[in-house]
Amino acid sequence: MHVQLALGLLVVVLAAGALLGYAFARRTGPSRRRQAEHDERMARAAEAFRRMPRRDDQSERENPGGVFRFLLVLSDGSPYEPEVFVTVVPSWSVGETFLITAHERLRIVAIDFELADELADAGINAVWTIEPVD
């Protein structure tokens, strides 16, 4: 009888300890380094989003489904093929890389948000100067 009572009490104590450990881990959150990296990424994304051109008449009709279009040009100003990169990700930063095909990665070396009216009317959100990544 005493052994069963002791085992039952041990199970209760272990379960309470596990619950306290779980609650402490959730309260303290990720490591400070990971949190700092996350905060830096969010700040860069927010800054890039703030710099994106806005128009008072921009609506869901003009940007259906939240798709963003970026015109791609090489450093010498010549267009890249394909000329437009389409993504659901609205904010990008200089230095970021992305896959244009399954085997080809490009790096953003400059972003120009000042667009000619023809580009804006065509639904282009920004012009990216890009370079291939080896």
Say yes or no: 128 and 77 in one domain. yes
Which domain covers residue 90, as residue numbers?
63-132
Q: What is the Cα Rg of the chain in Å?
A: 25
Of 25-29, 33-37, 112-116, the one with minimum mean pLDDT is 25-29
Say yes or no: 119 and 82 in one domain. yes
| Distance in angstroms (rounded) separating the CA atoms of residues 116 and 94 | 21
Say yes or no: 73 and 114 in one domain. yes
User: What are the φ/ψ torsions at residue 123 (nearest 5 degrees)?
Assistant: 90, 15
Structure-token pair, residue 2: 């005493």
Is residue 87 scored above 80 in pLDDT?
Answer: yes
Number of domains in the chain: 2
Quote the pLDDT of residue 23: 57
3-state secondary structure of 91: coil
Say yes or no: 86 and 110 in one domain. yes
- pTM comes to 0.53
pLDDT digits (tens, 9 = 90+) for 40-60: 766 665 565 555 555 444 444
Any domain includes 81? yes
Mean pLDDT of 77-84: 91
Quote the pLDDT of residue 61: 46
Please answer whether residues 83 and 98 qualify as being in contact, where contact means their C-beta atoms are separated by less than 8 angstroms. no
Is residue 81 scored above 70 in pLDDT?
Answer: yes
Say yes or no: 71 and 41 in one domain. no
Say yes or no: 94 and 123 in one domain. yes
Any domain includes 55? no
